[in-house]
Amino acid sequence: MNSVISTLLIFVGLTSFPIFALEQPNQKVILTVEGDFENTNAKQAANFDLPMLAALPQYSITTKNPWTKGVHSYQGFSAADLLQLLKAKGTMLEVTALNKYMTKVPVEDFQVNGAIFATHRDGVPMSVRNLGPIMVIYPFDQNLDLKSEVYYGRSIWQIRHIKIAPLAE
């Protein structure tokens, strides 16, 4: 009887710890992605620390922007690679900042206009005070069409959370 109970307990214990496709973060979580996608490491979500984000293909943009002085070199990852990693499908991202400010950024901006989620500025991880840990940045100096209110409005900083909006039916 005891052995039967022990076997049952082991079975319940094993089934109560889900197996995730995505690795677990080892450091402080700086980004949480939610949405309908396959590769997760939490319940209906994917948490990322800085090394996990750094493991994604990296891109850099050197530009001026209206919020800081001078020209800076920003380095980070693309939403297209993030979606590919998560095996997610979506065309719109709902990006929320640490202060709960939210804006929508189309995935197309990362594919066509060359925007990135910057995690480093001038080679240094971006602190909260320096508008980090993650900021959406566009190549403003390379494409003058991007110097408009639309893209300045999408340039959200201190990002903490991304929700992948489902595809429109």
- When asked if residue 142 is in the footprint of another protein (CB under 8 A), the reply is no
99 binds another protein per the rule CB under 8 A: yes
Q: Write phi, then psi, for 12 (nearest 5 degrees).
A: -65, -40
The minimum distance between CB 127 and another protein, in angstroms, equals 7
Beta carbon of residue 167, minimum distance to another protein (angstroms, whole number): 31
Query: CA-to-CA distance for 99 and 79, rounded, in angstroms?
Result: 21
CA nearest to 61, candidates 144, 161, 111, 136: 136
Residue in 45, 113, 125, 152 binding another protein, rule: CB under 8 A = 152
| Percent helix / strand / coil, the chain, rounded to 5 | 25, 30, 45
Tell whether residue 147 is a contact of another protein (CB under 8 A): yes
- One character per residue 40-79, x = contact with another protein (rule: CB under 8 A): -------------------------xxxxx----------
| Residue 105 contacts residue 120 (beta carbons within 8 Å) | no
